[in-house]
Amino acid sequence: MTERTRRPSAPTIYDIAEKAGVAASTVSRALNKPGRISTETEARIRAAADELGYRLNPMARSLQSGLTGNLALVMSDMTNPVYFDLVRGAERVTADAGCTLLFADSQENVDIELDAAQRLLRVADGLMLVGSRLSDEQILSLSALKPVVTVNRLVDGIPAATAEVEVGVHQAVRHLHELGHRDIVYLEGPSASWMNGRRHEVIAADAAALGMTVTFLDSDGPTIEGGHAAVPRVVATGATAVIAFNDLLAFGLLQGSREAGVDVPVSLSVVGFDDIFGANLLTPPLTTVRSHMRNLGEAAVLALRNAIAGEDERETERPATELIVRGTTGPVAPAGP
Amino acid sequence: MTERTRRPSAPTIYDIAEKAGVAASTVSRALNKPGRISTETEARIRAAADELGYRLNPMARSLQSGLTGNLALVMSDMTNPVYFDLVRGAERVTADAGCTLLFADSQENVDIELDAAQRLLRVADGLMLVGSRLSDEQILSLSALKPVVTVNRLVDGIPAATAEVEVGVHQAVRHLHELGHRDIVYLEGPSASWMNGRRHEVIAADAAALGMTVTFLDSDGPTIEGGHAAVPRVVATGATAVIAFNDLLAFGLLQGSREAGVDVPVSLSVVGFDDIFGANLLTPPLTTVRSHMRNLGEAAVLALRNAIAGEDERETERPATELIVRGTTGPVAPAGP
DNA sequence: CCTAAGATGGCAAGCGGTTGCCAGTCGGGC
DNA sequence: GCCCGACTGGCAACCGCTTGCCATCTTAGG
């Protein structure tokens, strides 16, 4: 057997206590309750701790307090670039608070999601659900265990962080209207997605207010393939513009259109949601509604920490959305009936 | 104060013991040591546990065993799509083992990386470093605390999971050679990246073997911006093809070339590494060397679990690489001297 | 000079499981 | 009929830290 690095068992507060000639409880207080112990004793203890390379055993503390200092995040699909900034923001704020972020991907699968949520909840103080596909009941049952915060989803009695929807959609619909579009398609996301419902509603309302016709088309899934497969059905509607539930769908729409010989943006305008990685790299670059996911991630962590602390859930601010106009939208083709 | 959901303290083995009329130790054994307790007693205990909705308190077990069942993963940049599949694979295998994955992003910053690693190490049984920018010494000092596994990086005495480099590079260089390229550029990644060093070496060797000239150019960073900024210097070398350290650089190269009026692949061929999200969506789609990151993530977890178990570190298999030929490579322009 | 409040530090009981050791029971072999 | 081992299950110590309560000592006020 190879000579491997010895990993001696970590020093405990008892080791420190012995070295400093005090009781373990005194060490604990010296390290955690500022002012509780006399200055010189505390200094002696800290010196001993440093010398021993002491590191607190979080499990022991957790056992006592019931709190782990971990926050869990379960998302529907980490491969979806939408969530990058969200995770970044969440991770950042979590670390700033001295906590650590646990994290799982449900791959758009309810069973996996539920399983991951329950698994993480055992070792975390609370849970954030992003783009959850769980039912309201399932979410409520999770929240019976530990505090739960939903992101871009509203469940009665559960604190939530949501991005504002209206402004971005409003800008997008108006933008299409100004370009002369009157018949548009909304390519739906997953029916279990709360955010999809919101976008659907707001688009319907805005379009109606401007006298535009909207056809709602289901997609196979919020993916590139889903968008690709939807092209024939979109074309069949005769609409001159499509708003897709997300950029992945829009990517697929673009890809499928090219293969089908449909010229974007000349004969079809395409708008996505989220402004994910790559949206500006395509040719033409994608017009899309950006939401500030980073802020959303931060807001979620804040809300969760509030819930864990048992504070009254204050209204969290809703990160804004805005239309980014690029190359996939253009004036409706002059060709008429 | 609003009437909020009661979260009664979770039932313990003592509650079960009382309900089943046995001792707590018997409950513990019934639940964990199959066969140690008589069938009917065990059944009675399990029934009581179910009825109470018992869930083991992992902290308590951890205190005892010193193991948390958490595996930590620190990566240089989670925004980099290369790591998607790696994380997916790692997460999957971790969950299958009944463990949970902790996860942090160092944003290409050594200080953040070290901080995150230390923070996670306190609550995890071991650590995986992906694309680490830490020095060998720093990594060794981490490994003095808990088992550490590096991914795509070799440090003496530290178990590692690495992707195979030779085959993919070999295919790429030969591919360019067959297209008639004789002068090529390698656009370097971060000097602190071990993988960059490997790619550099293998490209140098392969090119030399085929009688090709390679110019090595530094980049500002392994990002789209870095690739974009490098275009003038690449063009200045007079080379007819570039191999970029990763796809992000290649993306930038493509973008910059278009703006500079350099026609890819007619007057410049571009090859990337990793086959990240979006590589096939660009126009032209990117020729790139794919590595099977999912396998790499799985291999890393396996290696880490071995190290934690204290087993002799067996050789882990090295996931293969392969060239994916798409549209950014073409025959060298016939224009000659 | 006596009492009282404040400062300081120790004792010991948990937090929830795990496990070595032991005791009682039971069945079988000689 | 007796001894031994297998089988069951209980006791209690322990993992490392926190904290309520108490004892002691200081210092100040009356």
Q: What tokens appear for A334 in the block?
A: 């002059």
Q: Which residues of A touch B86 (CB under 8 A)?
A: none
Q: Is the CB of A59 under 7 A from strand C?
A: no
Q: Which of residues 235-254 of A touch strand D (CB under 7 A)?
A: none
Q: Which residues of A touch B251 (CB under 8 A)?
A: 281
Q: Where does the pLDDT of residue A277 fall: very low under 50, low under 70, confident under 90, or very high at 90 and above?
A: confident
Distance between CA atoms of residues A59 and B61, nearest Å: 9
Distance between CA atoms of residues A196 and A218, nearest Å: 11
| Nearest residue for D20, CA–C1' | A25
Q: State the CB neighbour count (10 A cutoff) for residue A295.
A: 19
Distance between CA atoms of residues B284 and A44, nearest Å: 67
Percent of chain B residues topping a pLDDT of 70: 95
Any residues with CB less than 8 A from the CB of B226 and at least 6 apart, and which?
A: B219, B220, B248, B249, B252
Task: Flag whether pLDDT at B171 surpasses 70.
Answer: yes
Mean residue pLDDT of chain A comes to 90
Q: Which of residues 66-125 of B touch strand D (CB under 7 A)?
A: 66
Task: Flag whether pLDDT at B13 surpasses 90.
Answer: yes
pLDDT tens digits, one per residue of B108-136: 889 989 988 988 888 899 999 998 989 99
Max avg pLDDT among A305-319, B100-114, B142-156, B207-221: B207-221
- pLDDT attached to residue A4: 46
Asked if B116 and A95 come within 8 Å (Cβ–Cβ), the reply is yes
Closest to A303 measured CA to CA, from A112, A104, A139, A73: A73
- pLDDT attached to residue A66: 85
Q: What is the CATH number of domain A13-56?
A: 1.10.260.40
Q: Is the CB of B64 under 7 A from strand D?
A: yes
Question: Between β-strands B183-187 and A287-291, what pairing exists: parallel, antiparallel or unpaired?
Answer: unpaired
**Residue B204 near residue B150 (C-beta atoms within 8 A):** no
| Nearest residue for C16, CA–C1' | B60
Q: Is the CB of A67 under 7 A from strand D?
A: no
| Nearest nt (C1') from B36 Cα | D8
Q: State the CB neighbour count (10 A cutoff) for residue B290.
A: 19
Closest to A289 measured CA to CA, from A171, A194, A196: A171
Q: How distant is C1' of D15 from CA of B7, in Å?
A: 27
Q: What tokens appear for B152 in the block?
A: 């795509």
Q: Number of CB pairs < 8 Å for A and B?
A: 118
| Chain D positions with a protein C-beta closer than 7 Å | 7-20
Closest to A286 measured CA to CA, from A264, A267, A257: A264
Distance between CA atoms of residues B331 and B268, nearest Å: 9
Mean residue pLDDT of chain B comes to 90
Closest to A300 measured CA to CA, from A31, A109, A103, A114: A103
| Chain C positions with a protein C-beta closer than 7 Å | 7-12, 14-20
Which DSSP string do the residues of B285-329 spell out, in sequence order?
PPEEEEE-HHHHHHHHHHHHHHHHHT---PPPP---EEEE--SS-
| Nearest nt (C1') from B29 Cα | C18
**Residue B168 near residue B318 (C-beta atoms within 8 A):** no
Q: How distant is C1' of D21 from CA of B90, in Å?
A: 49
Taking residues A276-295, what's their average pLDDT? Answer: 92
* Partner-chain residue, chosen from B1, B102, B283, that has the shortest CB–CB distance to A283: B283
Q: What tokens appear for B161 in the block?
A: 């999971």
Taking residues A22-26, what's their average pLDDT? Answer: 92
* Partner-chain residue, chosen from B100, B278, B282, that has the shortest CB–CB distance to A120: B100
User: Which residues is B70 bridged to in the sheet?
Assistant: B100
Asked if B63 and A60 come within 8 Å (Cβ–Cβ), the reply is yes
**Residue B52 near residue B15 (C-beta atoms within 8 A):** yes
Q: State the CB neighbour count (10 A cutoff) for residue A298.
A: 25
DSSP for residue B24: H
Asked if A81 and B81 come within 8 Å (Cβ–Cβ), the reply is yes
Q: How distant is C1' of C20 from CA of B65, in Å?
A: 15
Q: What tokens appear for B111 in the block?
A: 């200080």
Backbone angles phi, psi at B254, to 5 degrees: -65, -45
- Provide Rg for chain B, Cα atoms: 26
| Nearest nt (C1') from B10 Cα | C16
Task: Flag whether pLDDT at B141 surpasses 50.
Answer: yes
Q: What tokens appear for A167 in the block?
A: 């402004």
pLDDT tens digits, one per residue of A320-337: 999 999 999 999 977 544
Distance from the A201 Cα atom to the nearest Cα atom in chain B, whole angstroms: 31
Q: Which residues of B touch A276 (CB under 8 A)?
A: none
Q: What tokens appear for B288 in the block?
A: 């790139």
Q: Where does the pLDDT of residue A7 fall: very low under 50, low under 70, confident under 90, or very high at 90 and above?
A: low
Q: Is the CB of B63 under 7 A from strand D?
A: yes
Look at A229-233, A235-239, B88-92 and tell me which has the smallest mean pLDDT.
B88-92
Which residue would you say has higher pLDDT here, B51 or A104? B51
* Partner-chain residue, chosen from B2, B58, B251, that has the shortest CB–CB distance to A281: B251
**Domain B166-291 sits in CATH 3.40.50.2300:** yes
Which DSSP string do the residues of A180-196 spell out, in sequence order?
T--EEEEE---TT-HHH
Per the listing, tokens 């004793």 go with: A41
Q: Which residues of B touch A224 (CB under 8 A)?
A: 281
Task: Flag whether pLDDT at A44 surpasses 50.
Answer: yes
* 3-state class (DSSP) for residue B207: helix
Task: Flag whether pLDDT at B6 surpasses 60.
Answer: no
Q: In the CATH hierarchy, which fold is given to the domain comprising B70-162+294-316?
A: Rossmann fold (3.40.50)
Task: Flag whether pLDDT at B1 surpasses 70.
Answer: no
Q: What is the CATH number of domain A70-163+294-316?
A: 3.40.50.2300
- pLDDT attached to residue B267: 95
- pLDDT attached to residue B5: 52
Q: Residue ranges of the domains in chain A?
A: 13-56, 70-163+294-316, 166-291
* Partner-chain residue, chosen from B55, B145, B255, that has the shortest CB–CB distance to A122: B55
Taking residues B176-180, what's their average pLDDT? Answer: 97
pLDDT tens digits, one per residue of A174-207: 999 999 999 999 999 999 889 999 999 999 999 9
Which residue would you say has higher pLDDT here, A226 or B76? A226
Task: Flag whether pLDDT at A9 surpasses 80.
Answer: no
Which residue does chain A place closest to B90, by CA atoms? A104
Q: How distant is C1' of D28 from CA of A13, in Å?
A: 36
Would you say the CATH fold of A166-291 matches that of A70-163+294-316? yes
Q: Is the CB of A13 under 7 A from strand D?
A: yes
